[in-house]
Structure 1
């Protein structure tokens, strides 16, 4: 506790106490007085902090032990609750969490903008997140805060700019064509039928892993070729792993050191870390040797080349060898896992909505030639609309959680009522407060997207439909789409992910027609794995998470 930062009266008392201490050993009576002074200062500081802190309203806790943590496991219910609570308690409210803790939820656009402007500086990763990230991918840009994050992010940005991603587009297209060949063969081997039931989720995992491996590390995992790939196996287990007790997860959020225990999920995370670490290290060593012998292009603009260039610039301005390795692992994971989930959702929604699937196919077929990066971004409006709608409705990352490093005053776009009954246009929260941005809930908010916010409706992104919901402009600062976050921590690989997503969808939808294998009314749920992956309830196909009936498109 830094008592010297207290109010003027408290500071004067503190300085007097300091002078007494410097005069030498204190007699017993003076020691008692000193203890009283310190206690008074502490109580005064606590009192003044409570006076400044805004008394925020929120729902009553259903359980001191769990709060609403158990409810949060059901993302559908939580999405509805976040908006309901915002209407009832105001655009900034608190929700009880585990062991008597609470989290402040930001729903107000101005408050969210303020949060993102201060992310990594005034708002840091929670201790739980820090340990989780370190176990999974090391101390890279996802783990870092403040100046360290700024330095690491600066070295990564060029690898994901338009110029860098433009050169990777053909890789994504080639990978998609490999899937076309494999699916054609599977349909052909299914004698007597013109279709085959394919686990689309598993195939999207393979497509995204091979794409990320080649585009980022020049390493072909061979997942599409049926190679026995350890990385693919561990990623699959992590993605669908539900063997961890929820009680342990809840306790770990209060006592993060629990994550360091040899829990099954932590063990798989460490195994994946070792697998990817070995691959990344081999690629880095090979590239370094090529540079030393003049065999590598000194102007290499690939992700790997840029990371090495950052390493060569020195530990102060660039990246340390450990950070280079961590970045490569983060990029590989982020570039494969999240995109695989999004592409899986795309084929589910297209199978559920055959008219929209036909409209998308017609646009892709009419385009004719293989689209370039610029074509994918600017000349296929319905493809862009479908992709944006998937990212809106099925965000891979559902929320952002941070902890305040100091007291902060958050501005509001309009006044709200406090628990004391007062009206305020800002909210003061103390140091150590956990603050949450509910990305998925904001993406599906009726108040921001209109009454059809929960529906899959790509046309909302087209020009002819832009003016139908004026409330969309509420989050205009975030391009209306919260999936990639914003501010200093906005996803650095968003162009990479968008390009891969569009390239794969363009190729596959031209060649195949997709239907739900167990009928259009089959229930889809989100698993509680590494990311909220979709899975079909009661699938009739053993081992398939998302079985779709896939048939060749005949012109």
Structure 2
């Protein structure tokens, strides 16, 4: 490992040194000589010393724009992960892409570099300014937006609420939501003249997820599964409608000029409405808070002991609502999509689940079942969060698994990242990389998880850290605190629905499903507006 002290820090420029030693009694002429010399030294420093940060290969700046970098280009790409994978093969497993205002963003696909990056998040790598602005405005000063010691303290306070014991106690809530959906579908099918109905399943997955996180998170029943209309649910759903050119332009421009984010757009109006609704919900909980076994009820015990402030509790409520609702609803919808794409997988999963009644806690958390394999493959192929982008808080060296060739033609075993540079992980790319997962990486194949000695462990993916060699839940200090909650909820809902219903696309198994931009990317039918996913549903009947 190179010694960072041998490189000048960003602030330690020759011009700084000139000012520090400039005598106070100099005449104008002598001062001019000193300053001219300092300017020359500064130019030389910028040209020969400052550029000692590793110059990486990558797609040319002309692929993007000077103002917005590669973002406009990627908006029109159907599979961003595959594009990054192609660049990694062409330029090396660590490369750079055009960033905003002519900068370059470093992209990591090397497992060793990813492990180092993940292990040092919240201290060496922190949220980017646009990320912080957006999330602090929406969520406040909570776990998601905090860094360093503050993040560590808040995470410690939240950990008991997401322990295995706590999540196990929430199991009845997961089953209750799933069976409420089943009851509603049973009634709808009985009213149908035929044995099947067309159902927009993403809306129902939203209902399941919202009602579950409301009850498990802060003992609030949104009641959407029983017909209640929730303002928060309506706002979330509205984020899936297609954005206008004005919305997109303002969103991009806000990355450079933050003030424009306050200009009136449809997205900004929804954003303000969502913030208001979440604040009202948070205040309602805080006014009636008790120490029940909900996530926030357990957290209140920590806040009462001054471990976490009331403002931070309010922020956690908002974050829990956004993260717990959106990500699980997306994963459940993709699960139903894959069952329609792969009828043989649907049959195999159903046959396993029909062997017993509701799965136990031990069955929901054990490895080796087909339900577990199906869950892992959904998390691999369809991560709700497609990428992670951070900013270096200090100069750092990223170690590499194997040498790469720089833009200068040199081969290096580590990459110097300068303070202020952006670093990106494309989760879509890494989770589905053929170099990491083998030639069938783009194929939905739960079998790879059944016997990992002949599957995952035979691939380079085993070099990756994180849950089951995946980056879906991130890794290191920022690994998703609620991953057990999310996985158990997901398995519970799938176990109930697949045992009782069959799923298929109305227009056949070749129906193309693509991603639509919402709060997070959601599935939607290609060529259709919004993110409706209509499926034909029947009662399962064994003969």
Inter-partner Cα distance in structure 2 for 1:62 and 1:334: 33
| From 134, 138, 141, the counterpart of 1:139 | 141
Aligned counterparts of 1:96 and 1:513: Cα–Cα separation in 2: 46
Task: Give the Cα–Cα distance (whole angstroms) in 2 for the partners of residues 98 and 543 of structure 1.
Answer: 29
- CA separation of 1:129 and 1:241: change in aligned 2, threshold 3 A: farther
Q: How many residues align?
A: 531
What does residue 363 of structure 2 align with?
375
Q: What are structure 2's unaligned runs of at least 5 residues? A: 1-7
- 1:251-266 equivalence runs, <5 A: 251-266=253-268
Q: Give 1:320's aligned residue.
A: 309
- Asked if structure 1 preserves the Cα contact closer than 8 Å seen for 2:394 and 2:419, the reply is yes
Tell me which moved more, 148-157 or 374-383.
374-383
- Cα deviation for residue 245 of structure 1 reads 3.4
The residue that corresponds to 1:360 in the other structure is 349
CA distance in 2, matches of 1:167, 1:529: 32
Question: Which region of structure 1 is more displaced relative to structure 2, 433-442 or 44-53?
Answer: 44-53
Contact 2:501/2:539, CA 8 A, preserved across alignment: yes
- Deviating more after overlay: 247-256 vs 508-517: 247-256
Residue 459 of structure 1 corresponds to 447
Are the structure 2 counterparts of residues 12 and 226 from structure 1 closer, same or farther at C-alpha, using a change threshold of 3 Å? closer
Q: Secondary structure at the match of 2:454?
A: helix
Secondary structure at the residue paired with 2:480? Answer: coil
With the length of structure 1 as denominator, give the TM-score of the two structures.
0.90
> How much has 1:369 moved relative to structure 2?
2.9
- SS of the equivalent of 1:245 reads helix
Deviation track 1:388-408 (CA, whole Å, cap 9, x = no partner) reads 101110111000001112221
- 1:281-292, aligned counterparts within 5 Å? 281-287=283-289
CA–CA distance in 1 between the matches of 2:527 and 2:197?
A: 19
> Once structures 1 and 2 are overlaid, which stretch shifts more, 31-40 or 158-167?
31-40
Residue matched to 2:321: 332
String of CA shifts for 1:498-544, please: whole Å, max 9, x gaps.
011000000111110111122212111110221111111356xx988
TM-score (norm. length: structure 2): 0.92
Asked if structure 1 preserves the Cα contact closer than 8 Å seen for 2:370 and 2:446, the reply is yes
Cα shift at 1:450: 0.9
Distance 1:91 1:486 in 2: 19
Quick one: structure 1 residues 538 and 16, their matched pair in 2 at CA, closer, same or farther if it must change by over 3 Å? closer
Map 1:430-445 to 2 at 5 A. Answer: 430-445=418-433
Matches within 5 A, 1:168-247: 168-191=170-193, 193-243=194-244, 245-247=247-249
DSSP 3-state at the match of 1:548: strand
Contact 1:445 1:453 in 2 (8 A): yes
**1:117–1:488 Cα contact (<8 Å) kept:** yes
Does the Cα contact within 8 Å between 2:247 and 2:265 map onto a contact in 1? no
Q: Cα distance, 1:41 vs. partner?
A: 5.4
Question: 1:127-148 CA deviation, whole Å, 9 max, x = no partner?
Answer: 1111111232222111111222
The secondary structure found in structure 1 opposite 2:97 is strand
Please tell me whether the aligned partners of residues 10 and 41 of structure 1 are also in contact (alpha carbons under 8 angstroms). yes
SS of equivalent to 1:501:
helix
Contact 1:3 1:11 in 2 (8 A): no
Shift of 1:263: 3.0
1:74-223 → structure 2 map (5 Å cutoff): 74=76, 76-191=78-193, 193-223=194-224
